[in-house]
Chains A and B, each alone.
Chain A
Amino acid sequence: MDSTAVLSDIPEIIKREVINKDDGTKEIITFSIDPVTNIKHKTVQLVKQMVFLERKSSAIEERKTNWNKYGKEALATNLEKCCIADNVNFMIGDKYLESKKLEESSKKEESKGAVRKCDFCGGNHMKLSCPVRKQMRQEQKMKDQQQMEMEEENKSISKDGSEIPTWELFKGKRTFLSSKLKERLNKNQELIDQGKEPLSELQFEKLEEDKKTLFIRNLNLNVTEEDIRRELFPINGFTMDKIERVNLVKDRNTGASRGFAYVVVIDAEVAEACAEQMNGKGFMSTIINVETLASKNMNKF
């Protein structure tokens, strides 16, 4: 009985168009009428065919499934026997020869004689006896002293006798406040009203950054950073120049995608629009989950 009900629910297809595009993708447009409500539908499907070939030897597969580990060292699970070495530069052909020439020429210069080179100004003397450095140090000392004196004068003490934090000092003294600083001061004022600790400059910046980073989960493992840049965003109506950077998280050992990515867009408004638009949409045969990092962290607490 169920099956007949389902059959009658299937909309009647009137027309189907298939457009082959130059970049290897297909666009399928179908027009249909819902038999129950008699409403016309137009559905557009973008199809991209991808083929992944993997050759497997039967002998290797058998070894993988049937063989057990043996030996003292292999059974000791607490010790890792394999580690990734430092990243090694690989150059071949002309590139390699050029780099080798450079190395040799630098070696020759070194061996010509011990040339004294000051790290500070580049002159022919030791760093400790550098006259430029001496002068700079004296000036710095003078400046520091002056600043100390200034700060001591400026330190105003509240009626209770406790020091007033620096962020509140800005309010009265400075005539011009940048928009960022204003935001921060306002935010801090709010936090203090709620009885929480004010944020430092770094923490505040991180909050700002979090607002405009998107956290995308449940990606297909074959998706690359280029795919996100060139396909996921343009399909949903966001041009490529709205993206600042994309970071697809990969496995350290195998280099394979782990299925989630961080995308930084130009500002917080775009990020929220993106999250609203793309959350729950399908991309390369999986349904992705998109949210801003700020909202993700809010949900955590």
Chain B
Amino acid sequence: MRVLNLVLHTRNLNQVKYNKEGDLLFTAAAEGIVGVWNSVTGELLGTLEGNEGTVNGMAATSDSKFMITGSGDATLRTWSLQTGKNLQKYELGYVNSVAISPDNEYVACAISPIMGFEGSVQIYKLNKETGEISEKPITTLKYDPENKENLGFYGKLGFSYENKYLFVSTNDGSLLRFKLDELLKGEHKIDDHVKVHKEVIMDLQFSPDLTYVITASRDRFSKIIDVETMDLIKTYENMYPLNTACITPIKDFILMGGGQDAKSVTTTDSKHGGFEIKLLHKIFNNEISEFKGHFGPVVSVAVNPQGTSFTSGGQDGTVRVWFFEPDYFDYTVDITE
């Protein structure tokens, strides 16, 4: 199996992501740099420099022209991916995650109630031509700790298919669903919510057709939830706390990674920390394979939309690109047994 080590970041990774075609790879790390890579050869095409704090979330438009990053220095910035220039900068608050709607119309960002800022979800209008976002948000969904309807402050975000819903995860492990057209009108009513996990949801990723969600939590479980009915479809268990999970295209597999907390890592051997990335069958729920190589907890995993490779980012600053072998594509399950 061909594995590439991408050497750029010196501190822990926060997110790795592919663009829509799968030829570009983006890595966001805690030193405030976003790396843009060629996902096949591993060539560093550029770095987005300017953030003064950790880059918590990022999202690229589907035409791969612009990128929006949310950072720990309380800013939301827009970038041109072709030139690497910073186009806009807004001071909002500690941005936890960023998402762009599938049709590139809206940008949503989740802000944590830390450092004196109010926790909220803000939705902006995005200009497709210039890559700039509107000066004032269309709506701000405020987090009110006294209101019982608000279950916890907001973590990760994601848009479902056809801009229908906005999904927001909270720090107590529940998943909220808002109707986007109602939100844009200013009606801040939770459409539906499920208590999925006992602990904080670390990652929220969609299936390739945006019809179901996969979550990963520190309570060792990863779950698949239907977008339309909010039913729990599948549950996957891991030995160690999870940080990330994603669904592979072409084959019906799940990739998930995690590991023990960084606090207790120093007391354990890398063999017993659970730093392997697991490959599970999506339907039969059994472990098929694992990828060994990280020496610290895996923070983020993303699959190439073409299904030929995937990338993992670790808390020790390493990024590895794994290219699947023919065995992976030939694997089938014999149901007759």
Q: Verify if B8 is at the interface (C-beta below 8 Å from A).
A: yes
Contact A74 B1 (CB under 8 A): no
Q: Is A67 an interface residue (CB 8 A)?
A: yes
Q: Are B279 and A81 in contact (CB-based, < 8 A)?
A: no
Q: Known contacts being A74-B46, A84-B3, is A92 close to B331, with CB within 8 Å? A: yes
CB-CB < 8 A to B2: which residues of A?
84, 255
Among B3, B279, B287, which residue has its beta carbon within 8 angstroms of that of A88? B3
From DSSP, what is the main secondary structure of chain A's interface residues?
loop
**In this assembly, does B117 line the interface, its C-beta being within 8 Å of a C-beta of chain A?**
no
Q: Does A254 contact B (CB under 8 A)?
A: yes
A residues 47-79 near B (Cβ < 8 Å) are 57, 59-60, 63, 66-74
Which of A57, A60, A70, A96 contacts B289, CB < 8 Å? A96
B21 touches A57 (CB 8 A): yes
Residues of A within 8 A of B291 (CB): 88, 90
Q: Does B24 contact A (CB under 8 A)?
A: yes
Contacting A71 at CB < 8 Å: which of B46, B63, B324? B46
Q: Does B252 contact A (CB under 8 A)?
A: no
Give bound CA distance, A127 to B98, whole Å.
61
Chain B residues positioned under 8 Å from A86 (CB to CB): 3
- Contact A92 to B44, CB < 8 A, known contacts A60-B21, A71-B84, A85-B4: no
Mark out the residues of chain B between 75 and 105 whose CB falls within 8 Å of any chain A CB in the assembled complex: 82-84
Contact present for B45 and A67 (CB under 8 Å): yes
In the complex, how many angstroms separate the beta carbon of A98 from the nearest chain B beta carbon?
Answer: 12
How far is A88 from B43 in the complex, measured between Cα atoms in Å? 21
* Interfacial chain A residues near B328, Cβ < 8 Å: 90, 92
- A81 cross-chain contacts in B, Cβ below 8 A: 6-8, 42-44
With an 8 A cutoff between CB atoms, is B64 at the interface? yes
Report B's interface with A, CB cutoff 8 A: 1-8, 21, 23-24, 33, 35-37, 41-49, 63-64, 82-84, 279, 287-293, 320, 322, 324-325, 327-328, 331
Further contacts, 14 of them, CB under 8 A, given A72-B49, A88-B291: A59-B21, A63-B23, A63-B64, A71-B48, A74-B36, A74-B44, A86-B3, A90-B289, A90-B291, A90-B324, A90-B327, A92-B327, A93-B331, A96-B290
